[in-house]
Amino acid sequence: MAATASVKSPVPETSSAHRAHPVLGRDDEIGLLESLLGNAAEGRGGGMILQGEPGIGKTTLLAYAEERAVGFRVLRAVSAEPESDLAYATLHQLLFPVLSLVDELPGPQAQALDVLFGRAHGTPPDPFLVALSTLSALSLLAGDQPVLCIVDDAHWADQSTLKILAFVARRLTNEPVALVLAARADEGHGADLPDLRRVPLMGLGREAARALLAERRLTEAEQHRLLAMTGGNPLALIEFAGQPITPGSTHEPPALTGELRRSFLAKVRARHAAALPLLQLIAADGSGGFDGFERAAASLRIDTGPLHRAELDELLSYDGTRLVFRHPLIRSAIYHSASADRRAAIHRALAAAFDGPADQHRRAWHLGQAAVGPDEHVAAQLERSAEQAASRGGPAAAMAALSRAAELTADARRRGRRLWTAAHAALQGGFTAKATELLDRAERELCLEEADRIPLAVMRAIVAEFAGSPEDAMALIRPWIPRVLRLDRRRFAPTVAMYGDLGTRTQQPEVWADLADRLDGLPLTPDDPEDAALLLLRHAGHARTGRIPPTTRWDAATLESLTDPILMTMVGALLRGLGDHELGRRLYRDAGQLARAGGSLGALAWNLEYQAADELARGRLGLAEAHAEEGYQFAAEVGQPSTACRNRALLALCAAMRGRPDAAELATEVLAEASDLRLTDAMTYAWRALGLIELAAGRYREAARNFEAAGTWDTGEPADLVMEVVPDLVEALVRVGEHDRAATATARYEQWRRHTVSPEPAALAARCRALLSTGGAAEGHFEESLRLHARAGSELEHARTRLLLGEHLRRDRRRSQAQDHLRGAAGTFRRIGALAWEERVLGELRAAGESARQHETGVLSTLTPQELRITLAVGEGLTNREIAAQLYLSPRTVDYHLRKVFQKTGITSRAELMRLILAERPN
């Protein structure tokens, strides 16, 4: 590994180095690599992935990058097919040389890596906590000198490591870290790393190929035929140059992998025929270690002498920790040269050799490879190895082991359970498509009992909720609700809460009556947290159906003792709907903190949607935007397109309220995406965003059309999300003279808002009545609305009501009173950054006879969502390292954004920043 005390520029100042490099025909790729290294040396990290067929030159370019990384600390890993199902195998290679850094990481991160690498026992770390720990370790290492991470054969990297690399790649912008991978695009798992620049490698051109073959005595015709046959593949050119070339008219290159394998195998047999059994054993092993390998060799009576006499150095290399083949095709050719029976014998010997407690997963994997039919003994060992993988935070490895165990299981019921457990591991790891496939297989097992089928159905519903359609989730979960309540109500409390939540999302309010009826007869215990959640669900059902008036009498302490972030979030939503906003927000916040601490980004992405919607309802646009953007990013990372779309819909709504120029385009994009996914709630957000854009601009008829498209409000039971749009619709209808329709909408809103004790719907109902009234009656309703707004704390809606009252007073020629309300509204809009509404109120002020112009917005409203998140964390007294851990960033990135905040605000210290937060942040 390269390491020096000082950091030098990896790119020479003269351009002649571009021409002098020894890699033929790769000037463009060399330029990209040198640019990447140069940027990383200057603190602007990034990454790329070199892609191409075997022998195309990927490894040569990696070696060039390592050679050019002067002043860099180089970390290197080579992935291998046998280890592709071993959790974090490639990551272990990459970080093993620097594990001493772990002790310098924050406690939870250090613990995560210690457990992961078997240095300590503890709770299985969530994969995203491992990802954050990896990012922190690389950032810490880069504090002394820039870092180059190289991963060869990344198509065989285990899925757990690939997720880590994807996470890190997205966060290298402000880090002196370069990440370069090489992978085949069409084999193995595939390296799905969208944030790395993809550099496809093609065959060499004619001149480069001639230069490569310069030392071979080939005629012009032979060179021409060789280039046509190989497609310019450098390794194939070298290998086939020494073989007779049969003239042919075809210009189509052959399937290189098969040809190269046969070529490699012919060479091995010619030079090392006696060592072929030894090489087959090394190829099957894959661990690169000596202990287990030598024990297996002894049991098979294979001579290891050639290895110790360095007779195989042209095929193998040893880097001090691992014995590896110099080219993956050599290994592949040798492994497949053994018959199926011989490979099974080799894997059995390797399984017996790996007999330590830490080797359980590798031993089970070899047994699984050796098995040729149903084998319960091996399947049980694979199942136990999956538990070990899960205990070290390896859901991908657990999924693979359980899937193979199911294949080896003869008993249908046991096979179905193993498939279900494999699906659960897949869902934990963010492999949604694989989880669905495994659930399909599990469902086909006819012997599953009810206790098995309920979790299977629930998991399908969760997949549909996060990555599909809420209607599908509802169809999956509804039939099972009576049975889960009968079987184990406390275990399935999140499922019952999800049923109610889906009723809201799918605009099926009748669900709440059904819930109330089903929960009425259960002996629920108020001091049990899950029962307390079910009691709250029952109460919400009664309140929403008008059977009892809403109250705020529930045991807050018991509800706050819940520990499942998903259930806590849904309980928070129930409390918010019943008017207990403070307790609901505490549960939202605590659920988010639990998800962050455990690295559960899927649960966090889902929770942030609720937090964003709550802050939006309060008019705290900056916080709403910060939550929604973070939720969108995390949902995209863990493969939850539906959650991502909902968060993006809330971003569109924020953009509309802020008056951003791209708001309409964003809302239109979300509308199309939500329509494809059948996300009624996201479509409602998007239609409302489009309506608000028109409403703020005074285009009332267009606004009304958009609001009406958000859903049906004038028939059937009122749906919460649609009814939240009604006050906007009433304003638009009144402005276009549709008073009868506005009155009908107001009556429906009045009926709906009675299921909550929250003052905000009451304030908006009074505003609707004011818009439908004239003279003193209108003014009285406006005053009632303002009084209720003051209790509710929604600054945006409060300011909108003051704007409407100001307009009413101006039309009544009471200019002085109108100006007071309009100035107050303008100040609020300006401070929270609602620029479109500020422009409208300034127009009213000018009409009222006051010379008005836009003023500077509040400082916090000028920050990006990321900057605002970091700023608010500073306001909570957190250090940069604590903020980094909370927001899944590196401390260096936090420092970078804080410098930007200081520049924008014109302040120079954290103390000043905290005072600014206290002055500007709304309560």
Residues 792-810: tens digit of each pLDDT: 878 889 999 999 999 899 8
Q: Over the range 272-293, which residues count as b (16 or more CB within 10 Å of their CB) and which as e?
A: beebbbbbbbbbbbbbbeeebb
Mean pLDDT of the chain: 83
The H or E element that residue 634 is part of is helix 621-637
Average pLDDT over residues 167-181: 92
The residue among 854, 847, 796, 455 whose CA lies nearest residue 658 is 796
- The angle formed by the CA atoms of residues 522, 525 and 530, to the nearest 5 degrees, is 90
pLDDT band at residue 561 using 50, 70 and 90 as cut-offs: very high
CA distance 334 to 312: 13
CA distance 845 to 807: 9
The H or E element that residue 867 is part of is helix 865-875
Q: Torsion-angle region of residue 906: left (phi > 0), alpha (psi -120 to 50) or beta?
A: left
Catalogue the E-assigned strands of 568-683. none
Q: What is the pLDDT of residue 191?
A: 61
As a 3-state breakdown, the chain gives helix, strand, coil percent values, each rounded to 5, of 65, 5, 30
How many other C-beta atoms lie within 10 A of the C-beta of residue 37? 23
DSSP state of 145: S
* Residue 376 vs residue 192, higher pLDDT: 376
CA distance 416 to 422: 10
pLDDT band at residue 258 using 50, 70 and 90 as cut-offs: low
Is the pLDDT score of 878 beyond 60?
yes
Q: With contact defined as beta carbons under 8 Å apart, do 635 and 672 qualify?
A: no
- Strand-pairing partners, residue 183, are 51
pLDDT band at residue 273 using 50, 70 and 90 as cut-offs: confident
The residue among 91, 163, 353 whose CA lies nearest residue 367 is 353
Question: 66-113, pLDDT tens digit by residue?
Answer: 999 999 999 999 888 777 877 788 998 899 888 888 888 888 888 888
CA distance 853 to 839: 9
Q: What is the pLDDT of residue 551?
A: 58
Which range has the worst mean pLDDT, 141-145, 218-222, 662-666, 890-894?
218-222
Q: What is the pLDDT of residue 649?
A: 97
Sign for the CA dihedral angle at 701, 703, 708, 709 comes to positive
Average pLDDT over residues 777-806: 91
DSSP state of 355: -
Is the pLDDT score of 537 beyond 70?
yes
For the record, the structure tokens of 698 come out as 């005074």
* Cα within 13 Å of Cα(785), Cβ side: 26
Is the pLDDT score of 253 beyond 60?
no
Q: What is the pLDDT of residue 799?
A: 93
CA distance 610 to 629: 12
Q: What is the pLDDT of residue 913?
A: 80
CA distance 535 to 555: 10
Name the amino acid, one letter, at 548. Answer: I
CA distance 496 to 511: 11
Name the amino acid, one letter, at 147. Answer: V
| Alpha-carbon distances, residue 161 vs 81, 361, 492, 763 (angstroms) | 14, 17, 33, 52
For the record, the structure tokens of 862 come out as 């000028």
* Cα within 13 Å of Cα(95), Cβ side: 28
Is the pLDDT score of 655 beyond 70?
yes
Which range has the worst mean pLDDT, 62-66, 221-225, 866-870?
221-225
Q: How many H helices and E strands in the chain? A: 48, 7
Name the amino acid, one letter, at 585. Answer: R
Most confident of 236-250, 394-408, 655-669: 655-669
CA distance 226 to 446: 57
Is the pLDDT score of 548 beyond 80?
no
- Strand-pairing partners, residue 180, are 48, 150
Q: At what angle do helices 27-41 and 58-68 cross, to 10 degrees?
A: 40
Q: What is the pLDDT of residue 856?
A: 54
Is the pLDDT score of 567 beyond 90?
yes
How many other C-beta atoms lie within 10 A of the C-beta of residue 849? 12
Whole-angstrom Cα Rg for the chain: 32
pLDDT band at residue 126 using 50, 70 and 90 as cut-offs: confident
Is the pLDDT score of 789 beyond 80?
yes
Which range has the worst mean pLDDT, 309-318, 502-511, 609-618, 892-901?
309-318
Is the pLDDT score of 601 beyond 90?
no
Q: What is the pLDDT of residue 382?
A: 84
- Strand-pairing partners, residue 149, are 75, 179
Q: What is the pLDDT of residue 254?
A: 47
Is the pLDDT score of 9 beyond 80?
no
Which range has the worst mean pLDDT, 396-400, 547-551, 694-698?
547-551
Question: 577-593, pLDDT tens digit by residue?
Answer: 888 888 999 999 999 98
pLDDT band at residue 192 using 50, 70 and 90 as cut-offs: low
Q: What is the pLDDT of residue 247?
A: 47
Q: Which residue has the tokens 């790891």?
A: 429
> Which phi and psi angles does 179 have, rounded to 5°?
-125, 120
Q: What is the pLDDT of residue 390?
A: 62
* Residue 756 vs residue 870, higher pLDDT: 870
* Residue 422 vs residue 783, higher pLDDT: 783
* Residue 806 vs residue 3, higher pLDDT: 806
Q: Is 49 helix (H, G, I), strand (E, B) or coil?
A: strand
Q: What is the pLDDT of residue 430?
A: 66
Q: What is the pLDDT of residue 394?
A: 62
Q: Is 126 helix (H, G, I), strand (E, B) or coil?
A: coil
What pTM does this model have? 0.74
Which range has the worst mean pLDDT, 61-65, 412-416, 521-525?
412-416
Q: What is the pLDDT of residue 755?
A: 72
Q: Which residue has the tokens 């991470």?
A: 149
- The angle formed by the CA atoms of residues 513, 516 and 518, to the nearest 5 degrees, is 110
CA distance 455 to 432: 16
Most confident of 106-110, 112-116, 174-178: 174-178
Question: 157-170, pLDDT tens digit by residue?
Answer: 988 898 899 889 98
